[in-house]
Amino acid sequence: METINAILGKIENAKALDFGDIFNKSIELFKKVWLQGLVMLLLTLVLMLPFYIIMYLPLIAMGLFDNELLQQGQEQNLAILVPFYIFMFVFAFFAMIIGFGLKSAFYRICKIKDLNEAGSDDYFYFFKRPYLGKTIKLAAMTFGISLVALLLCVLPIFYAMVPIALINVVYAFNPDISASEIVKIGFKLGNKKWLLTFGLLFVSSILAQLVGMIMCFIGVFVTASFAYLPMYFIYKESIGFEEADEINSIGDTSE
């Protein structure tokens, strides 16, 4: 396992990355992992479905109750909505945990497909021991960062969205270092490659939506994962994988 200082050093000395090169590589990798990306998205929706049901049932009940009050000429007590807003906050947090864990697992699958490694498509890798606690902790940290950024007049979220997106991929390939170190690496890489990463996020997201809508809208489920792939290559080209580095060093020595 690489130390945080070694990883930060790689980021500091990382080569300049080409927008077009990463974009083209993302397209090629998408051809290999589009099915896994679709499965990841469907699993996310299925796992969050119970929370949607629990959230909307009280909302429907309150709507019926509100209509009854209006018919009687009474006003609704806004205090009744407080538990609903609290539950929405809790729901958003659980949704963050589910999305964070599945997306990190998706990046592991991307590496397997990209490097033709042996391995299974384990979508629940980061929900198992010993990583479940760290997945929850990192989801809480990114949720808190996002919330603070939104409270600061929204604009800071445009800055924070880049490191937050990279924290997922950093965790995927460095699950054994501490949560605070993973966040530190994510922000370090985000600061170093912010403009490139933001541009790739923006373009790939727009393209995924447009192509998905052309495919009768339901295609959005198929193309959505394309927006995640540039983050994988930014990590790969900036930090790389320890196993690959060791193989390369052995090859250089043998020569």
In this model, does residue 202 exceed pLDDT 60? yes
Task: Spell out the residues 6+ positions from residue 136 whose beta carbon is closer than 8 angstroms to its own.
Answer: 97
155-171 tens-digit pLDDT: 788 889 999 999 999 99
The phi and psi torsions of 215 (rounded to 5 degrees) equal -85, 45
Q: What integer pLDDT is reported at residue 49 of this predicted model? A: 82
| pTM to 2 decimal places | 0.85
Burial 131-169 (b: 16+ CB within 10 A, else e): beebbbbbbebbbebbeebeeeeeeebebbbbbbbbbbb
Q: How far apart are alpha carbons 19 and 142 in whole angstroms?
A: 26
Query: Are the CB atoms for 200 and 166 separated by under 8 Å?
Result: no
Q: If pLDDT is split at 50, 70 and 90, which confidence band does 206 have?
A: very high
Average of per-residue pLDDT across 165-189: 95
Give the C-alpha separation, 24 to 233, whole Å: 10
Tell the residue number behind the tokens 């909307």, with chain if given.
56
Domain assignment present for 251: no
Poorest-pLDDT segment among 102-111, 169-178, 240-249: 240-249
Q: In percent, how much of the chain has pLDDT > 70?
A: 82
The total number of structural domains that make up the chain: 1
Query: Is 25 a residue whose pLDDT tops 90?
Result: yes
Q: Is residue 112 part of a domain?
A: yes
Residue 200 has pLDDT above 70, yes or no: yes
Asked if residue 255 belongs to a domain, the reply is no
Residue 65 pLDDT = 54
CA-nearest of 165, 174, 136 to 232 is: 165
Digit-coded pLDDT (tens) for 42-89 = 999 898 887 777 766 666 666 655 555 455 555 555 556 677 677 777
> In this structure, is residue 129 part of a structural domain?
yes
Q: Which pLDDT value is given to residue 254? A: 43
Find the domain containing 86 and state its range: 4-243
Domain-embedded: residue 252: no
Q: Give the residue-averaged pLDDT of 10-29.
A: 94
Grade residue 253 by pLDDT with cuts at 50, 70 and 90: very low
Rounded Cα–Cα distance for residues 31 and 147 (Å) = 35
Nearest C-alpha neighbor of 170 from the set 206, 43, 162: 162
pLDDT beyond 70 at 26: yes
Query: Is pLDDT above 80 for 112?
Result: yes
Q: How confident is the model at residue 244 (pLDDT cuts 50, 70, 90)?
A: low
The residue type found at 144 is G
Is residue 146 situated within a structural domain? Answer: yes
Domain membership flag for residue 75: yes
**DSSP-derived secondary structure for 159-174:** HHHHHHHHHHHHHHH-
Residue 36: pLDDT over 80: yes
Flag whether 249 is in a domain: no
Residue 11's pLDDT band (cuts 50, 70, 90): very high
